[in-house]
Structure 1
Amino acid sequence: MADLHVQNLSLTARILVNAEALNMAESVGNYTRHRKAPAVVPSENGYSIIYAPAVSGESLAHTYQALLAKIAAQKGLPVTEMDVQGFFMKFSDENIIKSYYVKDLVKALKAKDENEALKKLKEMSPADVEKTILKTSVVADVGGFLYMEKKEKKEKKTSEKEEKGPVKRTSAIRFAFLIPALDALITGGASLYPQLHVRYTPEAKEGEQVIIYVESGSALYTLTAQLVISDIGRVLMDPRISDEELEKQRISRVEAAIDALTFLVDGVLFGAKRSRYMPQWDVRSILVAFSRGPVEYNVSPGLAKDYMVKSYERAVALAKSLGNNLIINLYGYNGEAGYLQEPVVKPEVKNVTFEKTATPAEALSKAKEKIMSINKPLG
């Protein structure tokens, strides 16, 4: 692929969410607060700060990895028991591995028992440790991990090989905080309000009945995410290392990673308290980009009504600068017609395309089709 070595999927969506408690931060007495984040908005005198309802990127990433584990398992890809249960400690250190992952490690290393597997891991180079963990878990592959080798006290210096440092794999999936769109904040389109709940008992005895307040939020949220396609199934600490098993699985891993992101965004399948605060949601607009080039291209966040125009114009400017070394395909759904601005396509710029879709799911689907058409299975 010459210099077109970084494949990147990025998206931003404007999602109208009403009466939600997707991310609760703390309880003070009988009052449970919604997470808030400071947002800088333009005002008549410059800029001001508004504390607005928010959902953390960690909350989004947790749900994404849970979805990925289910989808990967259905495809017959390697996932750990902890992945399936929704615990993402991901081989943090030797104690965690001994307690939760050693059986998965025995299988990946084809070791005769747990002691042999742990011994093999300790003797490996950092790059080989990364490769082994990738072969054990698709969630660790896509979601990243940090493995810290156990350090033993040494009484005196020896000529022995230096201890390995941490084995760090940056996550291929990245999420911004879910925050209200700036145009909605400026016009008052975001709110937090406490809802009263009561535990009622037949005799209403003291200590039995409880009054609870849960702070719920409503806003036009902006969801922004990135998935580095070209990192999936590859050993990042030493790109020269190849593995036949990983290469054979790579396309299935990429597809599982895209499918998990599609379900997360299109169905708003994230957040807490969904049993009684299932959000009323509507994906109002979305822009998805697939780029190939020497660097990652990400769409502009959907914070204002011109985000599609900004994203397209940025793509054109970058493509003109880098020439044929950068190709960007954009897919947009506009459910805010008459308000949201759309780009004017420049047909002379061949390596940047923009295609309108009829639904949010279609925008994600078309991006996936493009990615899968370029990434062919081996053989």
Structure 2
Amino acid sequence: MVYLSVRGRIWLQAEAMNMVESVGNYIKHRRVPVMVRTGNSYVTFFVPAVSGESVAHTYQVLLAEELKKLGVRVCKYCERGIFLKSTSGDVYKEVTGSDPPKLGSSAKGEEIMKAAKGIEEIIVRSCGVEDIGGFLYAENPNVKRTSHFSTGYVIPVKEVLEVVSMEPQLHSRYALGTRFVRTGEGAAGQMIYYVEVSSAVFSFAFDLDTKYIGRYTFHIDNYGRPIVDIQEIDRRVRASLEALKRLLIEFPVGAKRTRFNPADLRWESIAIAVSDDVWTMPSSFVGDYIQRAVAKKSKFSCNTTVHAYAEGGCSGVDKCYSTLEEAVVGSLEDALNRWAREVQSS
């Protein structure tokens, strides 16, 4: 297997990347409570955030595109960025082209597991995104596939919590001088609305585990056995890595980007650990995360190589790069080389 763990700090200036609701003409940014220790007490800050669902959605859109390029099957919903994930029998039928198993109320043991095995197998064969990103078939029997990548909330780093800003900006839509202005009571030629915009240095986390891509994970008797052949697994792993590269370099995360593209979007630092088994980077919420990764690796390693970039330079890591792009490309080349050796030995 190849395991990648990404942690970083990214500048997002004047962004509105994760809006959660409209209250009248006021559009609110997602915010979360963050508690930190100050001396002998604790303080809670309510800060802007981008949800893990938003990051996961973006990654899976890129993943669908990369899978299609390599000839891997992707269902008609996932390739359009609609991640229904075979939730119901109706969706299952459209994704797989076959009817789901029908179990009676008296079905037991072996019959249930046989149906579950068939559901997992046919969904994984039918859609590479649902293989890598997971799914939950919520009818009888329930079948769950856990995502092979993990991410979470993108929140301001600890050092900026006291100064992070989030303010509403006034906007208007203008119709005066046209025949489309409403008449009568409440007539108006302008629509006034407010959008909350924030600026901060945000922490970022993403892990990718290739171990069970294309393999059974729900049916206990077949756990870890391949569902598709090694060439197909190879294509899926390569697509997952290419999608991660695009995510980190372009960072096309969030909504309202057509009019609220961040005024500044750049990585202050990033570290990518490539390992032969599960090895996760420390959180980038605190600024010394790269140093903590070096200390962790000195005590525990899974043939881990830490690739890093930082604006002020980085020391102690296995490979330090002068640009973000070099760090991302270098780490993913490392991952691809490891994966290629695994394919050759299988």
TM-score > 0.5, shorter chain as reference: yes
Does the C-alpha gap of structure 1 residues 129 and 43 become closer, same or farther in structure 2, counting only changes over 3 Å? Answer: same
1:51-108: CA deviations, max 9, x gaps? 111000001111111111111111111101111111111111212224x42xxx23xx
Structure 1 Cα separation of the partners of residues 229 and 33 of structure 2: 42
- The yes-or-no answer on 1:297 pairing with 2:273 is no
SS in 2 for 1:231: coil
> 1:252 — aligned with what?
235
> 1:194 — aligned with what?
168
Instruction: Provide the alpha-carbon RMSD of the alignment.
Output: 2.0
Give 1:241 shift: 3.2
1:7-32: CA deviations, max 9, x gaps? 31110111101111100011111110
Does the C-alpha gap of structure 1 residues 268 and 261 become closer, same or farther in structure 2, counting only changes over 3 Å? Answer: same
Give 1:121 shift: 8.3
> 1:217 — aligned with what?
198
CA contact under 8 A between 1:135 and 1:246: conserved in structure 2? no
SS in 2 for 1:66: helix
SS in 1 for 2:14: strand
Structure 1 Cα separation of the partners of residues 71 and 136 of structure 2: 25
Does the C-alpha gap of structure 1 residues 335 and 132 become closer, same or farther in structure 2, counting only changes over 3 Å? Answer: same
Give 1:305 shift: 2.0
1:120-174: CA deviations, max 9, x gaps? 6878432332122111111001100111234xxxxxxxxxxxxx4x111110111
The structure 2 residue matched to 1:369, chosen from 319, 333, 338, is 333
> 2:188 — aligned with what?
207
Does the C-alpha gap of structure 1 residues 265 and 119 become closer, same or farther in structure 2, counting only changes over 3 Å? Answer: closer
Structure 2 Cα separation of the partners of residues 332 and 16 of structure 1: 17
SS in 2 for 1:128: helix
Name the aligned partner's letter for residue 57 of structure 2. H
TM-score by length of 2: 0.87
Give 1:233 shift: 1.6
- The yes-or-no answer on 1:140 pairing with 2:122 is no
Structure 2 Cα separation of the partners of residues 119 and 308 of structure 1: 48
Give 1:362 shift: 1.9
Q: Report sequence identity in percent.
A: 32
CA contact under 8 A between 1:234 and 1:246: conserved in structure 2? no
1:262-311: CA deviations, max 9, x gaps? 21122111100011001121111100001223xx2110121222110011
Q: Show the 5 A alignment for 1:39-118.
A: 39-98=34-93, 100-101=94-95, 105-106=96-97, 117-118=98-99
> 1:172 — aligned with what?
148
SS in 2 for 1:257: helix
Name the aligned partner's letter for residue 174 of structure 1. S
Does the C-alpha gap of structure 1 residues 374 and 246 become closer, same or farther in structure 2, counting only changes over 3 Å? Answer: same
TM-score by length of 1: 0.80
- The yes-or-no answer on 1:333 pairing with 2:297 is no
CA contact under 8 A between 2:176 and 2:189: conserved in structure 1? no
Structure 1 Cα separation of the partners of residues 16 and 152 of structure 2: 18
CA contact under 8 A between 1:175 and 1:224: conserved in structure 2? yes
- The yes-or-no answer on 1:344 pairing with 2:316 is yes
> 1:288 — aligned with what?
272
> 2:108 — aligned with what?
none
CA contact under 8 A between 1:121 and 1:129: conserved in structure 2? no
Give 1:318 shift: 1.9
CA contact under 8 A between 1:312 and 1:343: conserved in structure 2? no
Name the aligned partner's letter for residue 222 of structure 1. S
CA contact under 8 A between 2:165 and 2:199: conserved in structure 1? yes
> 2:294 — aligned with what?
312
Name the aligned partner's letter for residue 193 of structure 1. E
> 1:13 — aligned with what?
8
Give 1:327 shift: 1.4
SS in 2 for 1:81: coil
> 2:107 — aligned with what?
none
Name the aligned partner's letter for residue 274 of structure 2. F
SS in 2 for 1:230: coil
> 1:149 — aligned with what?
139
